Amino acid sequence: MFYPQEIISEVKSLNDIVDVVGSYVKLSSRSGNFFGLCPFHNEKTPSFSVNRDKQIFYCFGCGAGGNVISFIKKIENMDFPDALKLLAERVHFNLPQKGSGEQERQRAAAREIAAKTNKLAARFFYENLTDKDAENAKTARKYLEERGITPSLAKRFGLGLSPDAWDGLLKNFPDLPVEDFEKSGLVKKSEKNEARHYDRFRNRLMFPIIDNRNRVIGFGGRVMGDSDEAKYINSPETALFHKSECLYGLNLAKKAHEGQIIIVEGYMDVIAMHLHGFANTVGVLGTALTTSHSRLLKNAGCNTVILILDSDEAGIRAAQRAIPVLIKENLKIKILNLPDAKDPDEYLSRFGAKNFAKTLSQAQSHIAFQIDLIRKKNNLESMEGRVAFTQECAKILAALPSEIEMDAYATEISKATEISHSAIFKEIEKIRGVTSGYSPEPRTYILKKRGEDIGLKNAIKGLLNLVLSDSSAANALKKSECLSSEEIGGGIFGKLLVLAFKNTVNTPSDVFDLFDSDEEHQTIAEIFSDTKDYPSKDARQKALNDMAKKIKLSWLKSRIETERNDTNAVNSLHFQIKTINSLNISMHDG
């Protein structure tokens, strides 16, 4: 399906290229850019750069370059529509279906309204919690104090308190449409009188749920005091909030995870973990882990997940369901069953952070966890039990990509069952069906042409960078009529000059969307990789003139060689060369 440029631009704007690339490549900040080892060719010294301001990437080693869509196309081996869909899914953006342009605009408007309404509500709830005179606020603050949650930690999570009233939220915003609050899941219609509405959250400690764009997308609420209502409730599904597609605390954890994120159940567990120094913790919102959760973790730069779920049967089943979902995103998985406590909050309260850290370091790999579960099901004292145990374990080992890891576990299973190592591997091969090695595809590299005029090439790159980034420079060059698309080199250079003259692109990232081939993208990325900064308009004008003169001079000389048998043409070209220094492109007029 063809997507209009405004949709493509919106998807790109929601996907910061540093965040996206950082989920595949370990990046470090240097001189305003981000650098890492190129994922498209083998190298030992980082030459792969990502520019947040321009929203582009470029490898100085192999020449690969483009915007965030180009990166996904290349690294995931996708075509443009699939890459756009992946990026849209990453930020929960619904791409329009055929004939659904108006519907998508309505959905986008609903998401925007929900985000604004939730932000207002979050501020209102926070102010209620910090109200020194309100009795229910004193009760809520005392509860937090007893749980060890400091005011600064409460502020970090934006904790709040909903009023102990039928319509306290609505009354605080009398000028806003009640429909906005209803669509955001903050109020409900009265069953007795549909013309009346009441607050969904009443006298509850409020936990704002924040997405990767720092929008408040929903709330969790814990009841304060005695009540027959559910202890915790979440916002309902809205245009903005889907609980199976968000993780509580990820907006904070992604800043502290260093590649490893801990997953727990519940709001208070997350906050307790942060309180005791384990800020790389997120929580699931009463739902099983989904593919969306895995992608959120991957996009946040996570490579290892530690699951701390309840140690009862339900918790074990949840861990087993989560493992294949996380594996699909190539995440390493560890499982931790906490001893002598029902959840991390209780364990930390009883035994402290030091003991927790020690216990955390003993988390099992998901393979060991599953093997232990299989062991408990089978009697290894009997021949039948050992065979069944080995056959089930072989199914798990067959999915491992690492031969070393597979061998290590197979050795342990062999010791436990006295079944030979070779027999276990034959069983694994039978499950796999075939054995195959992986051979990486050969990489291509851009080689400099012999005799290439590097100075001229740099002048062309620099001029195109300037006129594509500065409309006043493009207008001035166009008005001067001193360079044509042919004179600047034709091909991709000529197309870019025409594009600059049209003034139809807003950012360097947008330029890539107008070209298809990897070669074109590499050239464009090389142009925009120029980080030269001009301190003033006069400096930009001087650079524009110098580069234009160099390019024009080179073209005139090449024409002399071409027209050497035409005396009049050669004389005319020589005259143009003599007068080239009089060329003056004025950006102040352009």
Q: Is the CB of residue 59 less than 8 Å from the CB of residue 502?
A: no
| Token code pair at residue 370 | 């599953």
535-548 per-position pLDDT tens digit: 888 888 899 899 98
DSSP 125-182: HHHHHT-SS-HHHHHHHHHHHHTT--HHHHHHTT-EE--SSSSHHHHH-TTS-HHHHH
Residue with tokens 């900040």: 29
| Token code pair at residue 277 | 């120094």
> What are the residue ranges of helices labelled H in 305-382?
313-327, 344-360, 366-377
Sheet strand arrangement including 260-265: 281-284, 260-265, 304-307, 332-335, 364-365
Residue with tokens 């509850």: 204
Say if residue 436's pLDDT is above 60.
no
For residue 437, what pLDDT is reported? 37
Kindly provide the residue ranges of all beta strands, DSSP E only, lying in 184-271, ordered along the sequence: 187-189, 197-199, 204-210, 216-223, 232-234, 260-265
Closest CA to 336 of 396, 412, 278, 392: 278
Highest mean pLDDT of the ranges 53-57, 124-128, 135-139: 124-128
Comparing 2-16, 109-123, 169-183, 197-211, the range with the smallest average pLDDT is: 2-16
How does DSSP classify residue 97?
P
383-409 per-position pLDDT tens digit: 999 999 999 999 999 888 778 888 999
Distance CA 530, CA 524 (A): 11
48-79 per-position pLDDT tens digit: 999 988 899 999 988 899 999 999 988 888 88
Which pLDDT band, with edges at 50, 70 and 90, does 247 fall under? very high
The pTM of this model reads 0.61
The C-alpha angle with vertex 583 and arms to 578 and 589, in degrees rounded to 5, equals: 170
Say if residue 217's pLDDT is above 80.
yes
Q: β-strands 56-59, 281-284: how paired?
A: unpaired
For residue 300, what pLDDT is reported? 74
